[in-house]
Amino acid sequence: MSEETYTFRIQRNTPTGNGRFDTRWQEFKVTLPTTSTVLSALEEIKARQDGTLTFRQSCRSAICGSCAMRISGRTRLACKTQVGSVARDKVIEVGPQTNQPVLKDLAIDIRPFFERVRRVDPFLKDGPESAKKVTKTAYDQVNQVTQCIMCGCCYSDCTMAEVSPAFLGPAALAKSFRFVSDPREGMKTERLEFLSQPDNMWSCSRCTMCVEVCPKDVKPMEAIVKLRTRGLEKGLRSGVGARHALAFHEDIQQNGDLNEFTLMMRSVGLGGTLAELGSALHLMKKGKIPSPFPHKAEKLGELRKIYDILEKNPLDVETKAAEIVPE
Ligand code: FES
């Protein structure tokens, strides 16, 4: 097994009181096989070079989620990440998860993450929408999101959580999808009503970071997209996010192109549009105001055929399997 000497550049965060930290980067050299995990390297550093280095770990098997941290620019599980796969010129940079408060070095306070999960009532509720019969196919969708180990990788790398700390976040939304899709759940509509409120399912910008970094292939963003579809199907169409999506849908279906001149008005209404008047005037001055007349795309007939097929048979974006909508 080939060995290499790697430089670990680790972010040290030492609390100095009143919520402040002394933050600095410290380098450690470790020689180990290229297939060793980052967690093994951190243990080696802690055992032989600096016993004060603080990080979390428990199962060492990508099950408990406690070793999630930023490694070479992405949040990953240290126990699942091989050093050879993330080293750049034999340097590996390690820091704590982002979007969550740091406690010390690589250990973060996981309470804000779990508070979000708690807000979606992560348990089955009895109610009028419980299905009498549970088929295996209807349950398959639930299975995918139950793979979540609550490691927080998705929340740490979520670009929306970074700019909008009130955002519910990908893990809590995926958890919510797990219950909205469960045929046994009795309060699906009530859940969707909650999710339609600001800072919940419509706040996701679909940057796909959560899909990219999830170590369990839960695909939270896809769950969010399905939640939105379910919400629209239940008639929850009054929020800005829902109106924006419907305006997009209407334009593409009718013309194959967006009518950006009216898109804002249809999404945020007159009040929201007037609030953005300054930006509109700025764009106008730069000659960037779109035409008020809808533009029709070429081969519109082909596009409408795609719409017809999708409307008859909604597809799971990733698996291309027919989506099962619970009763
Ligand atoms: S130590 Fe449990 S997931 Fe890494």
Distance CA 16, CA 253 (A): 58
Q: Which atom of ligand 1 is nearest to the CA of 58?
A: 1
- Percent of the chain scoring above 90 in pLDDT: 72
Round to the nearest angstrom and report the end-to-end CA distance of the chain.
Answer: 54
Distance from residue 42's CA to the centre of ligand 1 (Å): 13
Task: Please report the pLDDT score of residue 317 as a whole number.
Answer: 46
User: Per residue in 151-178, pLDDT tens?
Assistant: 999 999 999 999 999 999 999 999 999 9
Task: Please report the pLDDT score of residue 25 as a whole number.
Answer: 98
Q: Which atom of ligand 1 is nearest to the CA of 79?
A: 4
Joined tokens for residue 274: 């007037």
Structural domains of the chain, with CATH: 3-108 (3.10.20.30), 139-233 (1.10.1060.10), 242-312 (no CATH)
Distance from residue 205's CA to the centre of ligand 1 (Å): 29
Distance CA 42, CA 139 (A): 40
Distance from residue 188's CA to the centre of ligand 1 (Å): 33
The DSSP H or E segment spanning 46 is: helix 38-48
DSSP string, 248-274: HHHHHHHHSS--HHHHHHHHHHHHHHH
Instruction: Name the residue of 55, 59, 216 to mutate for ligand 1: max ligand atoms within 8 A of Cβ.
Output: 59
Task: Please report the pLDDT score of residue 85 as a whole number.
Answer: 97
Which pTM does this prediction carry? 0.89
Task: Please report the pLDDT score of residue 75 as a whole number.
Answer: 98
Distance from residue 197's CA to the centre of ligand 1 (Å): 34
Task: Please report the pLDDT score of residue 321 as a whole number.
Answer: 55
Q: Report the pocket of ligand 1 as residue ranges, CB < 6 Å.
A: 57-60, 62-67, 77, 79
Task: Please report the pLDDT score of residue 97 as a whole number.
Answer: 98
Extract the residue ranges of the chain whose pLDDT is less than 70.
314-327
